[in-house]
Each structure stands twice: as structure tokens, then as C-alpha cells.
């Protein structure tokens, strides 16, 4: 009697089932996903603020001109600039904070002491970030100018080292500008604020 031919094998039939994923491989994949996610978050944290124009740390510039080139805009500088102040500023800083805050610091031409600070935001009128100006006690509220072109608030601030500053705050051309000046009255300070222009005249 002739034997019937054997049926063709069914693919996979009779083969051992695939081995279950080991715990080690599962944990390794989880660690890999975590590491990749952490790296992506770090990249985003480093890159996105730069896209928005906000530095991750304080940037110091050698001059007003180098700051303006890097920031892509002119800084507000008073056209009325007292002779007793030394030009150029000894310090130009761009710090983290809303609306891109910048600070310039000036010395006295005669004593070398710091006697004037001009801080400003470049992209709006947000409040200056903490530490942009030395914290001090408000000694007096001097005046409020309601000039529609240059609304100004002037006050007297005493810093911890005992220095008494006249401080003027103005919102101009969609910027907040704060000028601090060591002086005995607010006459020169108001002239400086009202002469603010983009770039030095």
C-alpha cells in the first residue's frame, strides 16, 4: 500500500514560542527613553530662550555699540548728558527678564564713583527684574509729571551703602526707562529723562 504524502509543514507550527521580553531589556528601554527625554528638555531649555531673545545669564558688553549690534536695536540715551558724568559707561549689561532688560552704569568724571545708572527694557514696559537696580528704601516721593509724551515718576531712594539717589521712571516708545542719579534735586534728572533718544546724539 502506498503511503500518502506528508502534509506540508505549517509555518511556525511546532516552533518554540518567542521568548518573553526579559525584565532587563524592558528596564533598559525605559532608561533609554528617560535619557533621551531629559536631553531633549535640556536642549529646549537652552535654545528656546535664545529664540525669544532672553539670555540664560548676564551678558556683559564692551561698549554701547557692541550691545546695540548684538541686540539689534538702539539703546535709549539722554541727549542731555551732564559733563560731570564720564562717557562711555563703565558697564553695559543684558540680563534675563521680561522684555529684554539692559543696564548702563556711569562714573563721576571727577571722583570715579558710580553716580548714574540707566536701566531699560527693549521690547515692552515690563517691570525691571529683581537685582537690576540695587534695592533701597524709598525716602520720598518727589513728583509725578503727567506730560503725555514723557510721563515721569520721580522718587528718592536710599541704598544700603547710604547713597541717596534721585530715581525717575518713564514709559517711552514702548519701553520702561529708569534713570538713577546721585543729586540734590530732580532738575537735571528730569532734563535727562525728557531728552531720551534712541542712540547718543
Edge-to-edge, what's the strand order for the sheet holding 152-158? 59-61, 91-94, 101-107, 114-121, 175-181, 164-172, 152-158, 137-145
Q: Do 90 and 186 fall within a single domain? A: yes
**Strand (E) or helix (H) holding 76:** strand 76-78
In a domain, 148, yes or no: yes
Tell me whether residue 32 is exposed, middle or buried, using C-beta atoms within 10 angstroms of its C-beta: 0 to 12, 13 to 18, 19 or more: exposed
Q: Do 71 and 138 fall within a single domain? A: yes
Residue-wise pLDDT tens digits, 6-35: 555 555 555 555 555 566 666 667 667 665
Rounded average pLDDT over 32-58: 55
Q: Do 152 and 194 fall within a single domain? A: yes
Q: Do 41 and 64 fall within a single domain? A: no
pLDDT band at 94 (very low <50, low <70, confident <90, very high): very high
3-class secondary-structure state, position 152: strand
Domain encompassing residue 32: 24-52
Confidence at residue 85, expressed as pLDDT on a 0 to 100 scale: 97
> 64-78, 125-139, 140-154: which has the minimum mean pLDDT?
140-154
Conformational region of residue 12, where left means phi above 0, alpha means psi within -120 to 50, and beta covers everything else: left
Tell me whether residue 170 is exposed, middle or buried, using C-beta atoms within 10 angstroms of its C-beta: 0 to 12, 13 to 18, 19 or more: buried
Q: Do 180 and 107 fall within a single domain? A: yes
Q: Do 88 and 146 fall within a single domain? A: yes
Average pLDDT over the chain, rounded to whole? 82
In a domain, 17, yes or no: no
Number of domains in the chain: 2
Rounded average pLDDT over 101-106: 98
Using CA atoms of 22, 24, 25, 26 in order, give the dihedral in degrees to the nearest 10: 90
pLDDT band at 44 (very low <50, low <70, confident <90, very high): very low
Q: Do 44 and 135 fall within a single domain? A: no
In a domain, 14, yes or no: no
Confidence at residue 75, expressed as pLDDT on a 0 to 100 scale: 98
Amino acid at each position: 500500500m502506498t503511503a500518502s504524502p506528508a502534509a506540508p509543514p505549517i509555518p511556525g507550527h511546532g516552533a518554540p514560542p518567542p521568548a518573553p521580553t526579559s525584565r532587563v531589556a524592558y528596564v533598559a528601554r525605559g532608561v533609554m527613553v528617560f535619557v533621551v527625554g531629559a536631553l531633549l528638555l535640556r536642549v529646549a531649555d537652552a535654545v528656546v530662550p535664545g529664540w525669544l531673545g532672553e539670555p540664560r545669564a548676564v551678558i556683559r558688553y564692551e561698549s554701547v555699540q557692541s550691545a546695540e549690534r548684538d541686540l539689534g536695536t538702539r539703546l535709549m540715551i539722554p541727549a542731555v548728558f551732564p559733563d560731570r558724568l564720564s562717557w562711555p559707561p563703565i558697564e553695559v549689561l543684558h540680563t534675563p527678564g521680561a522684555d529684554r532688560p539692559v543696564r548702563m552704569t556711569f562714573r563721576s568724571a571727577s571722583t570715579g564713583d558710580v553716580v548714574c545708572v540707566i536701566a531699560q527694557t527693549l521690547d515692552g514696559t515690563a517691570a525691571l527684574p529683581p537685582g537690576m537696580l540695587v534695592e533701597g528704601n524709598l525716602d520720598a516721593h518727589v513728583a509725578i509729571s503727567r506730560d503725555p509724551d514723557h510721563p515721569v515718576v520721580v522718587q528718592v531712594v536710599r541704598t544700603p551703602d547710604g547713597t541717596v539717589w534721585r530715581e525717575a521712571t518713564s514709559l517711552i516708545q514702548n519701553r520702561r526707562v529708569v534713570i538713577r542719579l546721585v543729586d540734590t534735586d530732580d532738575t537735571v534728572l528730569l532734563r535727562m529723562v525728557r531728552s531720551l533718544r534712541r542712540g547718543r546724539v
